[in-house]
Amino acid sequence: NAGVTQTPKFQVLKTGQSMTLQCAQDMNHEYMSWYRQDPGMGLRLIHYSVGAGITDQGEVPNGYNVSRSTTEDFPLRLLSAAPSQTSVYFCASSYVGAQFEQFFGPGTRLTVL
Amino acid sequence: RKEVEQDPGPFNVPEGATVAFNCTYSNSASQSFFWYRQDCRKEPKLLMSVYSSGNEDGRFTAQLNRASQYISLLIRDSKLSDSATYLCVVNIGGNKLVFGAGTILRVKS
């Protein structure tokens, strides 16, 4: 099993550009989520999904969109990148009811100039 | 006030030392508690759950004090490989985990 995979590993954008961060898992987990991690702050939940076709907002959803058309994939879209979105983004998955054990992908390091 | 607060450290300790980290949380309705470990430039991974009665996993002991709303992690006989950032995590219900900013541990020979 590959676990949780994320692409790309690194990305540099200019202000105003849009892009999609990809996330896939092969563990048949119902629950998937996106976090961002900034220095001096804990991981903050952006959006999450409890199954295909169901998404909900987390703590910091502004500027981001998600969709969940399959169990395996949970892409994160940045609509119009801003320097404040410079961060490390982690995708995670788990079984519903066992969200305490999140399996994280390796992360995407995003810089917005 | 942050929902989950940790001393950022770093804690610099020699091999073989015992070190303890504390974490406080603000939501008294929090349901469950965990410690995650994050190596430098890697993803977080679950280290252990924290039970009201306390629990031990080898050299690691986790304790919960609901009355004072804090969680602790004790590491005995520290190894070089224990060097990492330790994240305190609180389940506040509704499918949501709140992560602390982490405590950095550096174990030196």
pLDDT over 90 (residue B33): yes
How many cross-chain Cβ pairs, A to B, lie less than 8 Å apart? 48
| Interface contact B8, partner A, CB < 8 A | yes
Q: Which of B43, B45, B47 to mutate to test the interface with A (most CBs of A within 10 A)?
A: B43
Is B43 in Cβ contact with A105 (below 8 Å)? Answer: yes
pLDDT at A110: 98
Q: Which residues of chain A have pLDDT under 50?
A: none
| Interface contact B71, partner A, CB < 8 A | no
pLDDT at A55: 96
Number of separate helices (H) and strands (E) present in chain B: 0, 11
Structure tokens at B8: 């950022």
* Tens-place pLDDT, residues A58-69: 999 999 999 999
Shortest CA gap B105–chain A (Å): 15
Residues of chain B with Cβ-Cβ distance to A57 below 8 Å are none
Task: Find how far residue B32's CA is from the centre of its chain.
Answer: 13
pLDDT over 90 (residue B17): yes
Ramachandran angles phi, psi of B94, nearest 5°: 65, 40
Residues of chain B with Cβ-Cβ distance to A42 below 8 Å are 2, 4, 87, 98-102
Contact A64, A77 (CB under 8 A): yes
pLDDT over 70 (residue B98): yes
Give the mean model confidence (pLDDT) for residues B32-54: 93
* Tens-place pLDDT, residues A75-94: 999 999 999 999 999 999 99
Count CB neighbours of B94 within 10 A: 8
